[in-house]
């Protein structure tokens, strides 16, 4: 999920800067974005195949499709996104300007689907009450944008970046972290309708995940980068370190969000 978030975010962050007009990412960063998107999408695909019980049969998922399943829809979303990112690269390389904006918009929509389809896949696991939350897709979209900005933040340490681009990254990260904290707190304090979902919240807040959650996710993964970026985000070193911390924070959050609900016995 982290690699997927980086892949989608690597396209979405330059896209946002372009459409909002907040900053110019520059050709260099656009290439980096496309490259990161493809590399991390490849990594996502490899990890997904490896995670199957029978990796040798992964083609069956795509080629004998059960269209009702978000596993299949997600598989196609990843494939289509990959193709679109590659097409963007081709347009850029050959300097084709026809339908350029349309392509960018379509790719951005594909990136959003790649970022959030897992929420729908999880929701199809009807026995896992905690995954039935409607906030799950928002949670994943925010992670994706944060991950993309964090990756560019780390990248900016190794190259000269425009000030407005760096500012844009800091803004996106601070906004992302704030929304992220808000959704996490919402997930925890909203009364859940079922016993199993309540049990998961208890497990995260007071149970076996409490240290990982409070220290790893909340303090280290969210509040620390929020403070660092607010105080001295324009320092390339601080931005890069915050980016790294954000990525670790996302990894820890996803680890808990994936694992904890599955610890509830189904019978």
Partner 1 sequence: MNHKRHHTLIEQIAEKIGLIPNLHQETETPLDRLTEPGHLTNFPPPEKWDDWVEYEAKDWPRLSKKHYTIVPTTCFNCEAACGLTAFIDKETGQVRKFEGNPYHPASRGRNCAKGPATINQITDPDRILYPMKRKGERGEGQWERVSWDEALDDIAARIRKALLEKRNNEVVYHVGRPGHEGYMDRVLQSWNVDGHNSHTNICSSGARFGYSIWYGYDRPSPDHANADFIFLISAHLESGHYFNPHAQRIIEAKMKGAKLAVLDPRLSNTASMSDYWMPSYPGTEAAVLLAIAKILLDEGLYNRAYMEKWVNWQDYLKKMHPGVDVTFENYILKMQEEYQEFTPEFAEKESGVKATMIVDVARQIGKAGERFSTHNWRSASSGNLGGWAVSRCLHFLNVLTGSVGTVGGTSPSAWNKIKPKFFDTPPAQTFWNELHFPKEYPLAFFEPSFLLPHFLKEGRGRMEVYFTRVFNPVWTYPDGFTWIEALSSEQMIGMHIALTPTWNETAFWADYVLPMGLASERHDLNSYETHSGVWIAFRQPVLREAARRNGKPVTFTYEANPGEVWEEDEFWIELSWRIDPDGSLGIRKHFLSPYRPGEKINVDEYYQYIFENIAGLPEAARNARPDGTRLHEAVWRF
Task: Please give the residue ranges that form the binding site for partner 1 (CB under 8 A).
Answer: 59-60, 62-65
User: Looking at beta carbons only, is 59 or 266 nearer to partner 1?
Assistant: 59
Minimum Å gap between C-beta 196 and partner 1 is 23
User: Looking at beta carbons only, is 74 or 153 nearer to partner 1?
Assistant: 74
Minimum Å gap between C-beta 267 and partner 1 is 13
User: Looking at beta carbons only, is 62 or 96 nearer to partner 1?
Assistant: 62
Contact indicator for 172, 242 with CB cutoff of 8 Å: no
Distances, alpha carbon 9 to alpha carbons 61, 68, 89, 166, 173, in Å: 26, 27, 16, 16, 12
d(CA 123, CA 126) in angstroms, rounded, equals: 6
Residue 95, Ramachandran bin (φ over 0: left; ψ between -120 and 50: alpha; else beta)? left
Minimum Å gap between C-beta 250 and partner 1 is 34
User: Looking at beta carbons only, is 62 or 99 nearer to partner 1?
Assistant: 62
Minimum Å gap between C-beta 141 and partner 1 is 29
Minimum Å gap between C-beta 112 and partner 1 is 24
Minimum Å gap between C-beta 57 and partner 1 is 8
Q: What is the DSSP string of 55-113?
A: GGGHHHHHHS--TT-HHHHHHHHHHHHHHHHHHHHHHHHHT--TTHHHHHHHHHHHHHH
User: Looking at beta carbons only, is 51 or 56 nearer to partner 1?
Assistant: 56
Q: How far is CA 264 from the centre of its chain?
A: 26
d(CA 140, CA 116) in angstroms, rounded, equals: 6
User: Looking at beta carbons only, is 60 or 230 nearer to partner 1?
Assistant: 60
Instruction: Classify burial at 180, counting beta carbons within 10 Å of its beta carbon; exposed 0-12, middle 13-18, buried 19 or more.
Output: buried
């Amino acid at each position: 999920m982290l690699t997927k978030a980086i892949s989608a975010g690597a396209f979405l962050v330059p896209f946002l800067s372009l459409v909002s007009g907040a900053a110019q990412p520059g050709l260099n960063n656009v290439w980096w974005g496309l490259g990161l998107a493809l590399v991390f999408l490849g990594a996502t695909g490899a990890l997904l195949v490896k995670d199957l019980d029978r990796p040798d049969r992964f083609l069956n998922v795509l080629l004998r499709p059960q269209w009702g399943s978000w596993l299949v829809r997600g598989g196609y979303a990843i494939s289509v996104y990959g193709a679109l990112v590659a097409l963007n690269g081709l347009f850029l390389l050959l300097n084709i300007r026809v339908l350029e904006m349309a392509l960018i918009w379509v790719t951005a929509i594909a990136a959003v689907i790649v970022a959030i389809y897992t929420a729908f896949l999880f929701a199809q696991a009807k026995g896992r009450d905690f995954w039935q939350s409607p906030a799950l897709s928002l949670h994943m979209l925010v992670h994706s944008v944060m991950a993309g900005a964090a990756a560019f933040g780390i990248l900016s340490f190794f190259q000269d970046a425009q000030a407005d681009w760096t500012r844009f990254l800091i803004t996106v990260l601070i906004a992302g972290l704030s929304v992220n904290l808000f959704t996490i707190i919402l997930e925890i304090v909203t009364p859940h309708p079922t016993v199993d979902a309540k049990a998961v919240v208890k497990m995260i807040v007071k149970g076996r995940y409490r240290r990982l959650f409070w220290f790893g996710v909340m303090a280290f993964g969210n509040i620390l980068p929020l403070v660092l970026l607010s105080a001295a985000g324009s320092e390339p070193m601080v931005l890069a370190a915050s980016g790294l911390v954000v990525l670790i924070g996302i990894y820890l959050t996803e680890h808990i969000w994936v694992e904890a609900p599955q610890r509830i016995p189904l019978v």
